[in-house]
Structure 1
């Protein structure tokens, strides 16, 4: 049975089994690396003078990148709060 851990909000949460948490951390790390490539590419594209509709596509990309980064941060926080390490 999994032990309870206190979250940053002060509530008890079930811990993720170690073998699963290790794989989840690896995947979250790889996701962060992939997102960083997208963030850097988005930045480089923003330095170019893009015409419509390409500039609108870049704005859409930036919005998606921001959402993906926030989701990844939430995932990493969840993993941290639900593991013993």
Structure 2
């Protein structure tokens, strides 16, 4: 079996801080903070994900989203309000 090592600094996929994906939001709280400006809105993120209104994927059990997908890239971290479904 071949041993693999994670990319290190100097690899094109790794930024200077050593982050593998700088545009990755990990966890519903981070996604909620980006979208709504409040980590406490994480249930809204789960609802949007469940109703396919937010492009997300899972790393293990953790909900994740990429900023560059489906309108999540608002430039300079400015949150754009998401229409809340009730």
Q: Please state which band the TM-score falls in when normalised by the shorter chain.
A: under 0.3
* Larger RCO (CA within 8 A; separation ≥ 6): 1
Normalised TM-score (structure 1): 0.25
Counting helix residues as a fraction of each chain, which structure ranks higher?
A: 1
Larger strand proportion of the pair: 2
